A = this chain, B = another copy of it.
C-alpha cells in the first residue's frame, strides 16, 4: 500500500492470474456448459498453464462456485442499491428491481447465463453454501410484489405466479439480447417495466410517471 508503485498497475499484476482465469472460465462455461468445458481450454484462454490455474482454484468445481458466488452477490448488491434509491412505494420498488435486473442481465450476460444454467452442476455442499443468496434475491421480489398487493397497488390474484412470470421474463433477456441489435438498454428497461407492472396488474391510471 505505502510503497506500491502506482496502485492500479500493482493490483493488475498481483491479481492478473486470478482475474484472467475468471474471465476465461466465464466465457468457456457460458459457451459449452460446465461439463462441456475443459479446464485445459480455460487455462489456455487465460494465457496460463494448467497448473497455474490450480494455484488459484483448487478444482473445476471451485472455479464454478466462485463464478456463481461472485455474480450472485454482484446482482444482489445491485438490487439493494436500486431499492435504496427507490424509497418505500411498492410500485417504485418493483420498477427498481426490474431496472436493476434488466441492466444486470444485459451488462453481465455471460455470468447471468452461467448462474442460471450451471447451478445444478454445483455439488450439494456448494449449493448449500450459496442457496441463501439465491433465496434472498427471490425474497426481494416476492416481498415487493406482496407489499404492492397489500396496499392495492397491484391487483394480481396470484402474487407468487406474477413474481415468477416477471422474473422469468427479465432473466430470459440474457439469452436473446444482442448488444449490437437495435434496442438500447434504457429502452429495454422501459419495456420490461411496463410488462412487469402489467403482470402485477398495476392500474396505470393510478400513477403515470413510471420508469422515470
Chain A residues with a Cβ under 8 A of chain B: 32-36, 117, 120-121, 157-158, 161-162, 164-165, 168-169, 171-172, 176, 191-192, 194-195, 198-199, 201
Contact = CB atoms under 8 A, between A and B. Distances in A.
Contacts of A161: 191-192, 195
A158 to B, nearest CB: 5
* Chain A binding surface, main DSSP class: helix
A172 B162 contact: no
Contacts of A194: 157
Contacts of A192: 161, 165
Contacts of A164: 169, 172, 176
Contact of A191 (B158, B168, B191): B158
Contact of A121 (B36, B162, B169, B171): B36
B168 A172 contact: yes
A120 B168 CA distance: 20
Q: How many copies of this chain?
A: 4
A164 B169 CA distance: 7
Nearest to A196: B165
A34 B118 CA distance: 12
A113 B131 CA distance: 21
Contacts of A171: 168
A137 B201 CA distance: 28
A113 to B, nearest CB: 10
Contact of A33 (B34, B195, B199): B34
Contacts of A172: 164-165, 168
A18 B117 CA distance: 29
Most chain B beta carbons < 10 A, residue from A32, A168, A176: A168
A194 B156 CA distance: 9
18 contacts: A32-B35, A33-B33, A33-B120, A35-B35, A35-B36, A117-B117, A157-B191, A158-B191, A161-B191, A164-B176, A165-B169, A165-B172, A165-B192, A165-B195, A195-B199, A198-B198, A198-B201, A199-B199
